[in-house]
């Protein structure tokens, strides 16, 4: 053995995990540590993300690196905690949720200077487990990895996935499944539910400290205001309006938009029962527990607004000493949600239709809205595949409408629509950058996860590779762009917290 420290050893010694959250918000942080993993085995490592974080992929693949990834061997000074939060779940308030099976290991300072949470999911029961086993199975953790990285590649703000490590522990669900830990990063894990929890302590100082911490990390412009809390609220309203507009534009259904699953940063979080639309129908719901369709695709903007109203209620005492004035401020800020969402969605729809202002006459907002509306009516009537139909528009703009006709052909409105849209000279390059070829289609994700659970990681590798450049068609990857057969699509369901 050499006495010179290897690169791996030097990284482990130089890695620093700060404990900003634990220091700033002790009322929301329970010191805790990960359960040991009997036989940790790295299943996937996101080398690109490791690089962005200044982490050495070689080290992370080494036994010491894998020990770090399951929380077994942390750098000196790390203070892992389980985070407390509350939440409105399907409309009902739960005052005490929190990380039941997750841990914040600490924060990393990335080479770009940003602070990133390093967080584990499936690391054993915490004081917030409420009878749950604190564990996670390989399939669902790989699912979060695939979905979150696909969202990132689509340009949508999201928590990121650094790695999935099989623990060697069995997890009992309907059957015994192999257990895993997901290692994820986020600009923070502060949620609407974090503020609701702080309010629920009845201690205004705790509420104020959460708000100040969120401002410092996510909306620093609010700090300069005479009363900063409404500034934070406005920042969250805007970030969430923009985020949900982007979900809608790619056909993403979060599936469980409880207030504990909504960040203050505006990053998508907690990929449980989420899925992408295939056949276009605003009422689409995949989650097995969402029997009322509360979190259906088309409801998402309304639910986001509802969740933001819960955030405002939790923050009210910091808006103004006088309740009436506080409510007025909250309503004023919340009123920004609808126009902001509409504007973000309209700007995105303009790109999806290739109608950005070019050299010629600009197409009016009303005309874009009318064209988008008619197209969605056709999509719904034909139950056409959302992703591939939009992608076929660029070929149609180039003169080959075969794909579009295959999807919408026979619809009485199609010919008229095509003529009117083409008259605006839509730009296919703009469309190709806005309409993905590849999204994580439900049947492909399930196929890759089933293989991975059996020990074959190859389909997952292909899927993540194709999804990493979603706007570029690859030869040989045609099946990743195609919808599932009707048998699969009809009965598809997703599951929460598995
Ligand atoms: P989710 O539906 O994943 O957002 O989780 C809702 C709440 O249930 C959170 O407080 C989770 O920490 C908790 N939870 C989910 N699954 C488990 C589990 N297996 N063990 C303990 N807590 C869990
Ligand atoms: Mg959650």
Task: Give catalytic residue positions.
Answer: 260
Mean pLDDT across the chain = 95
The proportion of the chain whose per-residue pLDDT surpasses 70, expressed as a percent, equals: 96
Q: What is the pLDDT of residues 8-54, one digit of tens each?
A: 555 655 799 999 999 999 999 999 999 999 999 999 999 999 999 99
Residue appearing with tokens 């699509």? 489
pLDDT at 411: 95
Confirm if 296 and 282 have CB atoms less than 8 A apart.
yes
Residue appearing with tokens 């909306």? 219
Instruction: Give 129 Cα–ligand 1 centroid separation in angstroms.
Output: 7
pLDDT at residue 359 greater than cutoff 70: no
Q: What is the pLDDT of residues 134-167, one digit of tens each?
A: 999 999 999 999 999 999 999 999 999 999 999 9
Question: Which ligand has the shortest distance to the CA of 496?
Answer: 1
Instruction: Give 430 Cα–ligand 1 centroid separation in angstroms.
Output: 41
The proportion of the chain whose per-residue pLDDT surpasses 90, expressed as a percent, equals: 92
Instruction: Give 270 Cα–ligand 2 centroid separation in angstroms.
Output: 5
Ligand 2 ion local residues (Cβ < 5 A):
261, 270
Pocket-forming residues, ligand 1, beta carbon under 6 Å: 97-102, 125, 128-129, 132-135, 256, 260-261, 270, 272, 496-497
Q: How confident is the model at residue 7 (pLDDT cuts 50, 70, 90)?
A: low
Take atom 5 of ligand 1 and give the residue whose Cα is closest: 497
Take atom 23 of ligand 1 and give the residue whose Cα is closest: 100
Confirm if 136 and 182 have CB atoms less than 8 A apart.
yes
Take atom 22 of ligand 1 and give the residue whose Cα is closest: 100
Instruction: Give 307 Cα–ligand 1 centroid separation in angstroms.
Output: 19
> What's the pTM value of the predicted model, to 2 decimals?
0.96
Take atom 13 of ligand 1 and give the residue whose Cα is closest: 100
pLDDT at residue 375 greater than cutoff 70: yes
pLDDT at residue 427 greater than cutoff 80: yes
Q: What is the pLDDT of residues 100-113, one digit of tens each?
A: 999 999 999 999 99
How far apart are the two ends of the chain, measured CA to CA in Å? 44
Q: Looking at ligand 1, which atom is closest to the CA of residue 136?
A: 19
Q: Looking at ligand 1, which atom is closest to the CA of residue 97?
A: 10
């Amino acid at each position: 053995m050499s006495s010179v420290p290897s690169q791996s050893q030097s990284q482990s010694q130089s890695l620093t995990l700060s404990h900003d959250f634990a220091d700033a918000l002790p009322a929301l942080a329970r010191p805790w540590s990960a359960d040991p993993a009997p036989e940790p085995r790295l299943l996937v490592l996101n080398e690109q993300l490791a690089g962005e974080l200044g982490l050495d992929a070689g080290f992370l693949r080494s036994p010491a690196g894998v020990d770090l990834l399951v929380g077994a061997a942390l750098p000196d000074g790390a203070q892992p905690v389980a985070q407390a939060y509350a939440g409105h779940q399907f409309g009902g308030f739960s005052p005490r949720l929190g990380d039941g099976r997750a841990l914040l290991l600490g924060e990393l300072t990335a080479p770009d200077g940003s602070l990133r949470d390093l967080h584990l999911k499936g690391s054993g029961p915490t004081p917030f487990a409420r009878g749950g086993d604190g564990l996670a199975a390989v399939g669902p953790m790989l699912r979060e990895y695939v979905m979150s990285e696909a969202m990132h590649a689509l340009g949508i703000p999201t928590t990121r996935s650094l790695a999935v490590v099989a623990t060697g522990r069995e997890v009992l669900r309907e059957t015994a499944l192999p257990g895993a830990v997901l290692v994820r990063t986020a600009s923070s894990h502060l949620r609407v539910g974090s503020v609701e929890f702080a309010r629920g302590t009845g201690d205004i100082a705790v509420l104020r400290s959460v708000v100040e911490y969120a401002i410092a990390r996510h909306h620093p412009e609010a700090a300069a205001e005479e009363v900063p809390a409404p500034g934070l609220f406005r920042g969250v309203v805007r970030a969430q309006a923009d985020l949900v507009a982007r979900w809608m534009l790619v056909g993403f259904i979060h599936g469980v938009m409880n207030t504990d699953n909504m960040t203050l940063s505006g990053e998508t979080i907690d990929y449980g029962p989420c899925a992408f639309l295939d056949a276009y129908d605003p009422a689409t719901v995949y989650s097995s527990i969402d029997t009322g369709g509360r979190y259906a695709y088309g409801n998402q903007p309304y639910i986001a607004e509802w969740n933001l109203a819960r955030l405002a209620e939790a923050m009210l005492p910091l808006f103004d000493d006088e309740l009436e004035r506080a409510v007025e401020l909250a309503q004023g800020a919340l009123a920004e949600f609808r126009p902001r969402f509409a504007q973000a969605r309209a700007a995105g729809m303009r790109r999806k239709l290739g109608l950005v202002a070019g050299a010629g006459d600009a197409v009016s907002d009303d005309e874009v809205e009318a064209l988008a509306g008619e197209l969605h009516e056709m999509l719904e009537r034909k139950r056409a595949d959302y992703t591939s139909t939009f992608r076929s528009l660029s070929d149609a703009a180039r003169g080959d409408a075969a794909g579009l006709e295959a999807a919408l052909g026979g619809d009485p409105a199609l010919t008229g629509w095509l003529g009117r849209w083409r008259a605006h000279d839509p730009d296919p390059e703009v469309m190709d950058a806005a309409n993905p070829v590849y999204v994580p289609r439900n049947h492909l994700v399930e196929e890759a996860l089933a293989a991975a659970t059996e020990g074959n990681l190859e389909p997952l590798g292909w899927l993540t590779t194709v999804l990493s450049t979603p706007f570029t068609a690859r030869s040989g990857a045609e099946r990743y762009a195609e919808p599932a057969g009707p048998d699969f699509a009809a009965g598809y369901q997703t599951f929460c917290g598995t």
